[in-house]
Amino acid sequence: MSAAWGKCFDPAGARYGIPTYPWKYAPDDDRFATRRQLRALGLRPGGQPIAAQVMRVNRRAGNVRVAYLYRIDLALPVRPMTSRKWGALALAMLARRTCPKCQVTYSYCMPRSLGMCVLCAYPDTGTSPRRG
């Protein structure tokens, strides 16, 4: 067993406080799921504590990636989208697509690094300096 694999294997939870499994070695008994897996099932964690975690050590960078696992039997159904939520989402996306300087609405979101459209950010060239 490699040191990286042994660092990530703690099914009793003695080292990290919760059961920890290496990447792709979590139990297959349909008790646990990540947030994305819960969402695919039409569920959400619903305020429950983290039940377990899956760890992956990157040997090159030396960092650790963690995916938290939640119990499926304690998960709650996803809240439905109401018409008010859809309206708020549409207004937020409209604000992200509208340039605050020239008030033109584009079909894409404004770059957050510029805070405005490219034409307003670079009026002399008309293009960004990266493109030449």
The reply to whether 13 falls in a domain is: yes
- Closest by CA to 79, choosing from 34, 30, 45, is 45
66, 114: one domain: no
Strands 64-71 and 76-77: unpaired
The reply to whether 128 falls in a domain is: no
pLDDT by 10s per residue, the chain, length 132: 555 566 677 777 777 788 888 888 777 778 899 999 999 999 999 999 999 998 887 777 778 888 899 999 999 999 999 999 999 999 999 999 999 999 999 999 999 999 899 889 888 875 555 554
The boundaries of the domain holding residue 46 are 3-77
Q: How many domains does the chain have?
A: 2
Q: What is the DSSP letter of 13?
A: -
- Rounded Cα distance, 99 and 86, in Å: 22
Please give the pLDDT value at position 132.
47
19, 56: one domain: yes
92, 70: one domain: no
Please give the pLDDT value at position 27.
79
61, 88: one domain: no
User: SS3 of 108, please?
Assistant: coil
User: What DSSP line would sit under 57-103, residue for residue?
Assistant: E-TTT--EEEEEEEESTT-EEPPPPPHHHHHHHHHHHHHHHB-TTT-
pTM surpassing 0.85?
Answer: no
